[in-house]
Each structure stands twice: as C-alpha cells, then as structure tokens.
Amino acid sequence: MFAEAEAAHYERLQLNDAGELKHLLTLDGLSGELISQVLDTAESFIEVGSRSIKKVPLLRGKTVATLFFEPSTRTRTTFELAAKRLSADVLNINISSSATSKGESLSDMLRNLEAMAIDMFVVRHASSGAAHFIAREVTPEVAIVNAGDGQHAHPTQALLDMLTIRQYKPDFPSLSVAIIGDILHSRVARSEIAALKALGVKDIRVVGPDTLLPMAVESFGVRRCNRMSEGLDGADVIITLRLQKERMSGSLLPSEHEFYSLYGLTTDKLETAKDDAIIMHPGPINRGVEIESAVADSSRSVILEQVTNGIAVRMAVLSMVMSGQINARRVASGE
C-alpha cells in the first residue's frame, strides 16, 4: 500500500498530464509501456552514433547544466556527450568551487540557474532523494534528470541495461536475471529491479552474502541467493555490480580475495548459467574483484555495448524529458 502511494506520488511528480516524462527521477512507478518507449527512442539514436555527422538538432538552443555534487567523470561525460549530440549547449557546473562554497544554499543556487534560463539540470548527489527534492520543492519547471542519488536510484543506468538486454533477449517475461554483489548499497540494483519488474521479468535473483543484501529483499519480489551456483542456475542475464573497495576494510566483507573467491564472476562459476547468458557490469570494472578478466573480455560480455547504449539512452531521456516539460508548461499557461 505504501509502495503504491509512493509510486503514485512519483507519477504526479515526473509525468505531465499527458503521461509524458517531464523529469526523470526514478523508475519506480513507471509503466512497462513508458520504459519501452524510452528504449525505442534510444534505439533510434544508436544509428546517430554510427553516422559520420553524429548530431541531431533536437535540443538546439537549449542549455543543459550538469550539477555533480558527487564527482563522476564517466557519468558526467556520457550526459555531456548525449546533450552535445542533441545540439544543446552544456554547462558543467563545478560544485566544489561554486557559490555553495560561499555559503549559498543549494536552493538559492538552483533558483539562480533557473533564472539564467537553463532548461535542464542533470543532478548527481550523495543524498538519496536529492533530485526528487529539487523537482518538487526548488525548480519544478526546470527538467530534472537524476544521474544517481545516494543509494536511491540511478534510472539512466538501469534503462541502458534494459536496452542492452532487449537487444539480446527481447522476451522479458521469459528471462531469468541474476544481480550479483553489493545489493544493499546499490542505487543501480534498485533501479534495475524496478525496470525488470515493469518489463515483466518474473525470475530475478539477487546474489551475495547476507551482509550485502537488504533485510527484506524478498518483499521486492526477488529471490535471495547466498550461493553463486544457485543464483546463476539457468540465468539468461548476469549483472555484476561494482564493489566499492572502501567497504572491503569494514565489517561487511572480510577481504577482496574472499569476495572474489565466493562471488567473483569466473569462467568456472558460469557453468550453471545458460550457455548464451549475457554478462553485464555498470563499469568501471575491478578486474579480479567482481569479475575475472577472461569473463569481462569474453564474447558473452556486453559491457562495452552497455557504454554505447548509455549515450543513446541519455539522448532519449534528455529529449523526451525536455519535450514533456515544454508540453507541461504549455498546458499550465493555457495555450
């Protein structure tokens, strides 16, 4: 019941009256139809990446600001590239040296950027709910795209994963999907589970030691597996998560070496998975920690396809959200 109320809340916040995305904060509450529509749009942009002139004029004259309160060159770069290929102007706001360090509040900074007629904020923040807070409380008329907030959501990562799965295994309801590693702290896993379920996947397993799995993970409709042989049994899709090495030294895990021996994705452990299973990782990979080098570089690995799809998915999200935001404002102003 609570989950339904929350989903309804997000729906009001990130969809306009016509049911189009006007922000992208989370995949919670998004329908399989809407997710498929994002993937279809992304598919059309993949062709753009292989063109000689990799640009379309969809966001010409729009300004996209990337606001990374938590540094991530990789994710910022993919959004910057996606925005430029849509012909937008991009402003990379360096938060640490910006006005917030002069004591300005986050709200004042964002309202200032809004007053500069910036059309879209791509936000990464260490606090869960930051993008949501901005879209609800601060600048609801600026299109907000969540590029990762705390342990909450990383919707564009999950969408690019769905696009990659669909390219190899389009029949989602028939799939068995295993997600391996630190599920407890992973916004990627949280968004992936939401997307897989919306697309009709029935058999989702989360694999890891109990210390890295959420307490009541079964309530999300997924299966808890402590053993890799069980988690990978008959799997079509295997998603390894990045292990935050800094957690290694704490009490959650004894050592990098022990993690690798128990949960590292090796050729041996892949025995129980389907022969044509695809192997995914959000990157950057720790070779010899989450995944064996031979597996990461094998023909089953689709890790680099994920990167390529990441640009296309972000182009799709940026253009759809901008369009939904414009339509929302048009309705609001009674045009």
Q: Is 242 annotated for ligand binding?
A: yes
Site string for a copy of itself, 221-260 (x = CB under 8 A): ------------------------x---------------
Q: How deeply is 87 buried, as exposed, middle or buried, from its count of CB atoms within 10 A (0-12, 13-18, 19+)?
A: middle
88/303 Cα distance (integer angstroms): 28
Stretch that binds a copy of itself, among 1-9, 91-99, 121-129, 176-184 (CB under 8 A): 91-99
Beta-bridge mates of residue 296: none
Amino acid identity for residue 222 in this structure: V
Q: Which of 3, 18, 33, 105 binds a copy of itself (CB under 8 A)?
A: 105
Site string for a copy of itself, 21-50 (x = CB under 8 A): ----------------------------xx
- Nearest CA-CA partner of 118 in 92, 96, 155, 150: 92
Q: How many helices (H) and strands (E) does the chain have?
A: 11, 9
Residue 120 CA from chain centroid, whole number: 18
Q: Which of 2, 5, 52, 216 binds a copy of itself (CB under 8 A)?
A: 52
318 binds a copy of itself (CB under 8 A): no
Phi, psi at 276, each rounded to 5°? -100, 25
Task: Tell me the two tokens of residue 300.
Answer: 């089953």
Stretch that binds a copy of itself, among 137-145, 150-158, 189-197, 306-314 (CB under 8 A): 306-314
Beta-bridge mates of residue 203: 176
Q: Is 209 annotated for ligand binding?
A: no
Choice between 91 and 252, CB closer to a copy of itself:
91
Longest dimension (CA), the chain: 62
Which residue ranges make up the annotated binding site for carbamoyl phosphate? 74-75, 124, 154, 157, 283-284
Residues that bind a copy of itself (CB under 8 A): 49-55, 60-63, 71, 73-74, 77-78, 80-81, 84-85, 89, 91, 93-94, 97-99, 102-105, 108-109, 111-112, 114-118, 245, 283-287, 304-305, 307-308, 310-311, 326
